[in-house]
Structure 1
């Protein structure tokens, strides 16, 4: 939205302290003055307790709706349990969002929850349009007063509102865009739902550069403390002129990614071209609509062993065919580490790094991280200098977290080697790690060509040719050898293929996060499914589906 439009922000603890007109302030003054209802003996009547009755739910909702319809923000707010937060938003509903002729139709209450439908009109600058949506409210018992009150949440006013958001209508902050994939196919939120937040960000950042003109819209303006969050358009009153924005995405790969993540809850995937760094697809299936594929910060489990193996090889500790025994347990500074449940033990002193990698043996890597010349900072140096994972310098075209492998001592040094401890990654990072591993060169991923805005992409040293060759072969074995943990997921894929599985334990969670990264010819992909189990259980099928579509 145009920045000149005044927007009232939800909440404000200060308002609670100084506001004298709210219901909470009235109760406080009444108590101090000895006012209020009286009981049979002349004293104050006891506050009611327990859940609101069906009649109280109906009456409270009706009063709230009636005041809201009439534009009486203060009165409507007085029927909530947080009038200081409710009144500014209800006021801006009419004054800043220019929403009028509000008609609210309640549905049948379900206990203390009342669903309802809103029908209204939005008018601005001689343009108007009908607005309709559904929401719900919950009636609760006031903690001190005993009154039945609407439990205040911004989503009561509109289901997409969160704390700190407000509604505004006016000239859009950025012109609309027509984003197209690498072959000119138009990318829309309707066809590719995962791209909704991505397209909003691209419009916010590049709308002015794409040659369009802004229209008039009703939008959600997000909290000022989140400057990276673009306005979310809810209703277009007057179309602007769209500017054409070229992206690196592939419509066919994106479609496969959308379908693949839908099969597993809390899942995300990224695909890119190792030869260029161009992102081909980004998809999420999450209840919170968070772009975890680019912005997630979680432990990557054994997919981290790609970087750890590179560290071992680069520092001369071992090689692909060098020793890496895999006992059932390994102790590091009094902490015992085990292999994953279901992994057959191999106590052979003749096990190689390639075998330990393919079978995802934790103990083999734990036993090697204290070998000379390794230090607490060796894994960090490998991640940053070779793989470009510094956490804050990638310029992908949208918001991203770029991986973090902090130097760590004690048990965290060992845990980091197997993708636990303080290590944080997301699918974008791990797809890039795979791309660097199989090509030997770090090419920063991007979704919009840097020539559009003269962005300077991040750089890193990359890998020695011999190290990259060994990593690629170990990933091939993981996807094709009889004992490889990625064989089942990668089965049936043609071409040059390789992979690495991972499972990350999460404090307080019974199940582990499922991780998987793989390549097929000139496409690398990585996925995570939180609470998805072993790497091949959920993340593996997602990556395989995306790689299959890239052929």
Structure 2
């Protein structure tokens, strides 16, 4: 919640408090003095509060105002617990609730207001202990903070997926400002855009000898502002090296920026100067884990020496944690190299045995929006899924199927640009070459429910949980033979490269499994009270069907650029859409790595071949 919203909430509560206090107390008792003092303090009507004490009015007003600044408090709220009278003396026990902002817990403490009669009127007996029982003459409040540095996003082996980047932190040492703090803040605010009151509160609430971070800049912004910052002699700029620049896969890892006035206003109270803000990808999704929270201590300081006198309260802050991904650097590097050969392409690689995402690479596309969450026609790569239902329905890989140039099924027209395997190719040969007319002709051999069941078994349309956007695919309603034919040929089925890589992994391992991108922590939200829905359960393929599909996908890769070196490649290539589509797929696997490649105006099998060659011969 933002600081502005917290203050509004406090104001509403104050109105209720005023009504309660005013209605319950009689004017002839000490209650009216207690009421006016606490209401004045809470509402920042310090003159009202000071008038109900026996202290010098201006001094009390200043002490109350300074307490708010010294604590950098968003609000004060009070609750009276009891009021007792003993002759000319009285005592009011109350609890105080101080909102220190910056995402810290509320500071709650019990205190006492001593009162006595002065010329027939009840007055609060003024001393610093009225503000807090442990505050003494010659002392002031201070808030000592220690932010923790942002933790990295790491690969499956714990190595950081960020590179070093320098930040520039402008700040001051309060004791060196003298009476110039307001002037320094005014000038710094004019340069940076940060609110003057927030900057001043940070200075006045901090221990005087501690460097107070006020504004943080990336290199470009710092160089633009440096000439103006240099004119404020009291400002010191420290250069800090942090792991901020994303390494591959950059769009999955995400960008990080220093806190700016715009992000501070947007994100609200938890941020301080020196903080970093995730702008995209996992950096944004796991912002609260990566940044953690600031350790905060409320203390009293000796005004003469500036040293700490007493610790009043301490919050250790939430521990910040690294985010451990399933990305494999070697596989990611091979994917980056492979997609670079095409102007527009995306490649997603997963581990066949567990669904863990090993690499996401894209050129001319976005790793998250296209690689994980893209919605593209499946083309005849969907025949991998459809074949599960067809083989179960009795269609054998050796069955002869003509591959004519044109065919009509249920009124829907299908066209095939090439000829497959002579006049009577087998189902396997038509599958391997992606003959649309032959595959569409099988629509009458399988019912709609069986196709839908196979699609679900291969994860199409399943609701899986990833911290970033993703798309598992969609299958339309199949109300006719034409609908089934269009689905079998992939014309009406939408998929993402991620969902198709998982299809390949299912055939390779014998079990479909949901994708995994982050293994630690278990949820992006450290404060979540609702346990997220469990991911879909793994689905085992029929062993006989898997054996047939493995042979069919081996045939699909033979003779294509995907087959390089001595290792066997299994897969199928197809246009992504109708006959005029400029986009095409390769879906398959080699060894433990299953992939899906989407490319435009380029052979995706060539991208796959480059990927496998680099992966198995990184030199």
Could you tell me the TM-score, scaled by structure 2's length?
0.50
2:378–2:577 CA contact under 8 A, matched in 1: no
Are 2:492 and 1:405 aligned?
no
Give the C-alpha shift of residue 401 in structure 1: 1.0
1:436–1:463 CA contact under 8 A, matched in 2: yes
Give the C-alpha shift of residue 248 in structure 1: 0.9
Give the C-alpha shift of residue 476 in structure 1: 0.9
Q: 1:472 maps to what in 2?
A: 550
Q: Which has the higher helix share?
A: 2
Specify the structure having the higher radius of gyration (Cα): 2
100 and 412 in structure 1: CA distance in 2 versus 1, 3 angstrom threshold: farther
Q: 1:259 maps to what in 2?
A: 337
268 and 197 in structure 1: CA distance in 2 versus 1, 3 angstrom threshold: farther
Q: 1:137 maps to what in 2?
A: none
Quote the Cα distance in structure 2 between the aligned partners of 1:214 and 1:286.
40
Q: 1:335 maps to what in 2?
A: 412
Q: 1:491 maps to what in 2?
A: 563
Are 2:423 and 1:348 aligned?
yes
Q: 1:312 maps to what in 2?
A: 390
Q: 1:389 maps to what in 2?
A: 460
Are 2:612 and 1:547 aligned?
yes
Q: What stretches of structure 1 of length at least 5 have no aligned partner? A: 7-97, 104-119, 135-176, 179-186, 216-239, 481-486
Q: Deviations over 1:6-25 (max 9, x none)?
A: 8xxxxxxxxxxxxxxxxxxx
Residue pairs, 1:363-382, within 5 angstroms: 363-371=437-445, 374-382=446-454
Q: What stretches of structure 2 of length at least 5 have no aligned partner? A: 6-184, 200-212, 222-241, 256-277, 296-317, 524-530
Q: 1:128 maps to what in 2?
A: 215
2:379–2:491 CA contact under 8 A, matched in 1: yes
1:525–1:546 CA contact under 8 A, matched in 2: no
Aligned length: 348
Give the C-alpha shift of residue 258 in structure 1: 2.1
Quote the Cα distance in structure 1 between the aligned partners of 2:500 and 2:4.
42
Quote the Cα distance in structure 2 between the aligned partners of 1:131 and 1:461.
48
Give the C-alpha shift of residue 295 in structure 1: 0.4
Are 2:322 and 1:244 aligned?
yes
Q: Deviations over 1:441-467 (max 9, x none)?
A: 111111112773476221253310010
Secondary structure of 2:327 counterpart: coil
122 and 303 in structure 1: CA distance in 2 versus 1, 3 angstrom threshold: farther
Residue pairs, 1:494-513, within 5 angstroms: 494-505=566-577, 511-513=581-583
Q: 1:201 aligns with which of 274, 281, 298?
A: 281
Are 2:391 and 1:326 aligned?
no
437 and 375 in structure 1: CA distance in 2 versus 1, 3 angstrom threshold: same
Are 2:498 and 1:433 aligned?
no
Q: 2:246 maps to what in 1?
A: 189
Q: 2:595 aligns with which of 516, 525, 537?
A: 525
Secondary structure of 1:383 counterpart: helix
Q: CA RMSD in A?
A: 3.6
Quote the Cα distance in structure 2 between the aligned partners of 1:328 and 1:100.
76
Q: Deviations over 1:208-250 (max 9, x none)?
A: 44684479xxxxxxxxxxxxxxxxxxxxxxxx99632211110
1:358–1:500 CA contact under 8 A, matched in 2: yes
2:254–2:283 CA contact under 8 A, matched in 1: no
Quote the Cα distance in structure 2 between the aligned partners of 1:99 and 1:282.
47
Quote the Cα distance in structure 2 between the aligned partners of 1:426 and 1:328.
29
Residue pairs, 1:9-408, within 5 angstroms: 121=192, 123=194, 125=199, 126-130=213-217, 189-197=246-254, 200-209=280-289, 212-213=292-293, 243-286=321-364, 291-316=369-394, 318-339=395-416, 341=417, 343-346=418-421, 348-349=423-424, 351-371=425-445, 374-384=446-456, 386-391=457-462, 393-408=463-478
Quote the Cα distance in structure 2 between the aligned partners of 1:287 and 1:523.
22
289 and 322 in structure 1: CA distance in 2 versus 1, 3 angstrom threshold: closer
Give the C-alpha shift of residue 375 in structure 1: 2.2
438 and 189 in structure 1: CA distance in 2 versus 1, 3 angstrom threshold: same
Secondary structure of 2:448 counterpart: coil
Quote the Cα distance in structure 2 between the aligned partners of 1:100 and 1:379.
69
Q: Deviations over 1:119-150 (max 9, x none)?
A: x746474522456879xxxxxxxxxxxxxxxx
Quote the Cα distance in structure 2 between the aligned partners of 1:473 and 1:543.
19
Give the C-alpha shift of residue 407 in structure 1: 2.5
Secondary structure of 2:564 counterpart: coil
Quote the Cα distance in structure 1 between the aligned partners of 2:499 and 2:569.
19
